[in-house]
Structure 1
């Protein structure tokens, strides 16, 4: 039985650094692009849900293939197991966390 290949792809988009996991990364059919497909997200059935993972899953829900410009790709790593996907601020490197929505205050 062959172990499936897993890649950690780190790329820059709109001032944020994205870290995603995918099963396929190829030189693009479009010149100057890298094709990233078969994205891998954690499936949580329990109560604890990672908001960043949820946000990434929502953002790339219907994506079959990402065509990333070569200039935006920072790193592609072959990894043994999936880690935590992340969105980081490009300048500070800190994780971008979606704040919990609070109800509006009555006026």
Structure 2
């Protein structure tokens, strides 16, 4: 049995650049849309949890198919293995989700 194809889909959404992994990407049945389905997220049983992965899993929970406008898709890559999913600010490229809580600033 051959392993299923894995895609990295990078797209723009509300001023942020999302990078998600999916098993299926097709030109949509809806004209002008790309269909992304079978989203792939890491499942961690240990103590270390990736906050970006958690946020994406929560945001897309219950999503069977994501219909993205063609003009919002920046890149679709067929990859051998899953890397890190990400949410970045489109203008600066900085990560939107910080890995650790920031300390409170003294007033």
Aligned residues: 103
Question: 2:7: which partner in 1?
Answer: 7
TM-aligned CA deviation for residue 2 of structure 1:
1.2
- In structure 1, the gaps of 5 or more residues are 103-107
- TM-score, normalized by length of structure 2? 0.91
Aligned equivalents of 2:33, 2:46: Cα separation in 1? 37
Aligned equivalents of 2:25, 2:101: Cα separation in 1? 34
Question: 1:76: which partner in 2?
Answer: 76
- TM-score, normalized by length of structure 1? 0.91
Aligned equivalents of 1:27, 1:62: Cα separation in 2? 21
Task: Give per-residue Cα distances to partners, 1:35-89, cap 9 Å, x unaligned.
Answer: 0000000001000000000000000011000000000000000000000000000
Aligned equivalents of 2:102, 2:35: Cα separation in 1? 35
TM-aligned CA deviation for residue 101 of structure 1:
8.5
Question: 2:30: which partner in 1?
Answer: 30
Hey, which bits of structure 1, 4+ residues long, moved more than 6 A? none
- In structure 2, the gaps of 5 or more residues are none
